[in-house]
Chains A and B, each alone.
Chain A
Amino acid sequence: MKNFIGSRVLPDMVYHRPESMDEAKSLLNKLQQFRVVAGCTDFIPAIRRGAWRFEDGLNILAVKNVRELKGIAEQGNTVTIGAASTLSEIENSPVIKKHSPILADTVKEMASWQIRNTATIGGNLCTASPAADMAPPLLVLDAKVTVSGPDKEKTLPLNEFFRGPGQTILHSDEILTWIQFPALKKGERTFHIKMGRRNAFTLSIISLSVWLRIKDGDFEGVRIAFGAVAPTPMRAHRTEEFLKGNKVSPEIIDKGAEIAAGEVSPISDVRASAEYRKDMAYVLTKKALTACVL
């Protein structure tokens, strides 16, 4: 029964629930060892199956009630999402539907209604699964993330946030606070595809986001991002460079999709083989670009 899910009890924990960043920062200063949690939809299952282990006495810093981490707003053409926003809040937000519909579309296909009501965007990014569904759309939106430590803050492109599977640049005393990106402008189009082993409530075998700006029949701006086909969510820079400046045509799209399949570096795992993922990178890039230009 050792590997039976649910067989491992949660450790004895000390629960801290700051309501403001000031409270959170003073806790960051005070506590030696702690773990930042929000929705706990990855935290609890990981402990149950033994993937993460913690000693009794673990300090948990629950940030879901920190007021500065909530809220989705648009100001001066920049959309800001608090890291503790739940996936449902993003799905239902009129700001997101208007200024970045690709995020609402992506969230709709994540997990289940129950999970979306609890899980947060910050948690999805900080758990940093290579298949994190929120990452590809945010990457093509050119998102930046703000990270707060006990005495300072820094903002960096999301591109630089992931270091490897399950690893981010966050230090042990830092919290992801918010995510920002430019609101979608007229003439910019986005598209997202997720492929899993089943139609609902599934981990991604491969996910892909596209952002395009077309001018006079040419690809003027292109951003393409993949999930689940590399150690981290990634932008397909060579594919983007190829497409930019080229005429929008089925032949160019086909060539671009081939280049994309060459840029990804998937592994074989329980969900799919590396070869299948590479094949699907070609198929889905073609599908996404075609859908996006129509």
Chain B
Amino acid sequence: MKTTISLYVNKRKYHLDVEPRETLLEVLREKLCLISVHRGCQEGECGVCTVLLDGDPVNSCLILAVQADGARITTLEGLRKDSELHPLMKSFLEQHGFQCGYCTPGFLLTAYALLSRPKKLSEGEIREAIAGNLCRCTGYVNIVKSIEAAANQKDAGNWW
């Protein structure tokens, strides 16, 4: 039985009719065409479906869309600003923090949430924070370097 929910996704408000069985992943990807949100393990282990819910990273495959009623959701599309690359994305480009790119949206959002919290981070703390995002290509070294390089920028965390 469908219910209407409100979602604030990337700063726009949507009213959607969803069934309780639909996960947030399915709604974002298939109803709103936000295809940066990837489908992976479907059980919350790989993190490729990571989105920010009220600023915190969550696995969208484990959230029923009805449970997200009224929430603020950020996907990677929300980090766009016309044709300008977000500084985090620039950092991943410069430090070669991706290969096939499938896990990258999840990593970028987790890193975005991590760097928006005012705290000086050690490599160990970065690694702990990204433990919920798996990558089969890179071996993680360049991902951590990308996040560190972004964190060391002087206006880190104060981007859009």
B129 CB contacts on chain A under 8 angstroms: 113
B67 CB contacts on chain A under 8 angstroms: 17, 40, 62, 64
A10 CB contacts on chain B under 8 angstroms: 21, 23
What sequence of 0s and 1s flags, for each residue 37-56 of chain B, a beta carbon within 8 Å of any chain A beta carbon?
Answer: 00001111101001001001
Assess A17 versus B50: contact at CB under 8 Å? Given A48-B42, A113-B129. no
Q: Is the CB of B59 within 8 A of A15?
A: no
Main secondary structure of the interface of A (DSSP, over half): loop
Q: Is the CB of A45 within 8 A of B21?
A: no
A250 within 8 A of B: no
Say how far A121's CB is from chain B's closest CB, in angstroms.
17
Kindly report which residue of chain A lies nearest to residue B129, judged by CB atoms. A113
Chain B, interface size: which category?
A: 20 to 34
C-alpha spacing A114/B132, complex, angstroms: 6
A200 within 8 A of B: yes
Contact of B57 among A6, A45, A108, A114 (CB under 8 A): A114
Among A64-105, those with CB < 8 Å from B are: 64, 88
Kindly report which residue of chain B lies nearest to residue A201, judged by CB atoms. B131
Q: How many residues of A contact B (CB 8 A)?
A: 31
C-alpha spacing A12/B64, complex, angstroms: 12
B19 within 8 A of A: yes
Say how far B17's CB is from chain A's closest CB, in angstroms.
13
B84 within 8 A of A: no
Kindly report which residue of chain A lies nearest to residue B61, judged by CB atoms. A44
Assess A113 versus B44: contact at CB under 8 Å? Given A15-B66, A17-B66, A118-B58. no
Q: Is the CB of A12 within 8 A of B42?
A: no
B3 CB contacts on chain A under 8 angstroms: 15
Q: Is the CB of B56 within 8 A of A88?
A: yes
Among A1-58, those with CB < 8 Å from B are: 5-6, 9-15, 17, 39-41, 44-45, 48-49
12 pairs, CB–CB < 8 Å, chain A vs chain B: A49-B43, A62-B64, A62-B66, A113-B110, A113-B129, A114-B132, A115-B59, A117-B56, A118-B59, A118-B63, A200-B127, A201-B131
Q: Which residues of A contact B (CB under 8 A)?
A: 5-6, 9-15, 17, 39-41, 44-45, 48-49, 60, 62, 64, 88, 108, 111-115, 117-118, 200-201
